[in-house]
Amino acid sequence: MKDKTKLVHMARNHAEAETQAVNPPVIRASTVLYRDTDTLKSIRTRREGNERVFSYGARGTPTTFALEDAITEIEQGVRTMLFPSGLAAIAHVFLSVLKPGDHCLLSESIYGPARAIAVRFLRPRGIDCEFYPGGHEEVAKRLRPETRLVYVEIPGSIIYDLQDLPAIAALLKDRENTLLAADNTWGAPGLYCPIALGADISIVAVTKYIAGHSDLVMGSVTANARAAEQLAYDAGLLGQTVSPDDAYAALRGLRTASARIAMHCEHAKEVIRWLEEQPQVERVLYPPLPSHPGHEIWKRDFTGANGLLSVAFKPHIKQDDVDHMADRLKLFGLGASWGGYESLAMVYPEGGIPGWKGGALIRLHIGLEDPADLIADLQQAFAGLPTK
């Protein structure tokens, strides 16, 4: 099946029955009752063997298992774990994989809070976290015997630089103790598949396009056979869980994700055409554009795009100008997230984006509103920007 079909049909209950719900129903539970002591002993043994089994609410319910199965299928891994936020999912990978004395390589433009975990939590605990600029050539120069994890975000946060993931995976092919993890939030669901391209771990902020309605916070970690057992065991050990109601909402959002993302993408194309004609705009940062650095990697490794982009302004446009412009927007809400149905804008302090050497930026999430209305909103806000 193609990915669009999978999103509709995966992880649905196909058990033989006269009638059944289209979507797996919400099953709420803390305590689970066992038929007898033999069943209790059997399930306890299976759980100790790291098998996923309905044994206690914090270990998952049939509703959360259904979402895990759906994400596992679309991410092409062997097991998925759910977390209360995307950042919790990122933190779990670090906590499960790394120990004092290890070396971790991280691409320069990763999500800011992930960088903060590395700098403010891992480094003080004896884990050497090194940020590298550029691509796989820089990874090759920096690998050490004690390198335990290479962590990338593809495309990078805010500036959307593109790492050559298969090339990085090739560098690690013979390193049994080094795992490759990728934040795949921009490419989920179905636009990009890090595990198929050689990564061991794929991390997704389910909050974004999977949930799709700006009313849910969740993260996922999907792993291949090499990494799944340890990550799953540690998730249970640390009590990581999500509510079945949230899992149900995310699963419902997943069913329509391909249609929504396609619409976000089409609207983004129209807005970008307008943006590129504006005298204040230096360039639009968006991997599908031929002018975008790494565009050839995007063409090779991605199956599509979404509605998230950044606008780089010409040098005469200062940060205060961009801030005032953002304040004039009416349809674009000023908000930090993205992936919901609505359009959003976010400004960043000048010089505060690792890996970015240009001037002032604004990030836009192009929503499901009519693009003509979004362009009109941008036009009235841009009217206050200096042209030279």
Do residues 93 and 151 make contact, with C-beta atoms less than 8 angstroms apart? yes
The pTM of the full predicted model, rounded to 2 decimals, is 0.94
pLDDT number for residue 351: 80
pLDDT number for residue 19: 75
Torsion (CA) 266, 271, 276, 281 in degrees, nearest 10: -140
CA gap 362, 322 in Å, rounded? 7
pLDDT number for residue 13: 66
Residue ranges of E strands in the chain: 79-83, 103-107, 128-132, 147-153, 179-183, 201-205, 219-223, 281-285, 308-313, 333-334, 344-347, 361-365
82-to-41, 91, 205 alpha-carbon distances in Å: 26, 12, 10
pLDDT number for residue 49: 86
Segment-wise mean pLDDT, segments of 10 residues, the chain, 388 residues: 82 70 88 93 90 89 95 97 98 98 98 98 98 97 98 97 98 97 98 98 98 97 98 96 97 96 98 98 98 97 98 95 98 96 94 90 98 98 92
pLDDT number for residue 16: 62
For domain 3-255, the CATH class is: alpha beta
311-353 tens-digit pLDDT? 999 999 999 999 999 999 999 999 999 999 999 999 998 888 9
257-382 has which CATH code? 3.90.1150.10
Residue 212, strand partner residues:
none
The domain limits of the chain are 3-255, 257-382
Half-sphere exposure of 318 (CA within 13 A, CB side): 1
CA gap 301, 312 in Å, rounded? 25
Do residues 312 and 333 make contact, with C-beta atoms less than 8 angstroms apart? no
End-to-end Cα separation, the chain, in angstroms:
52
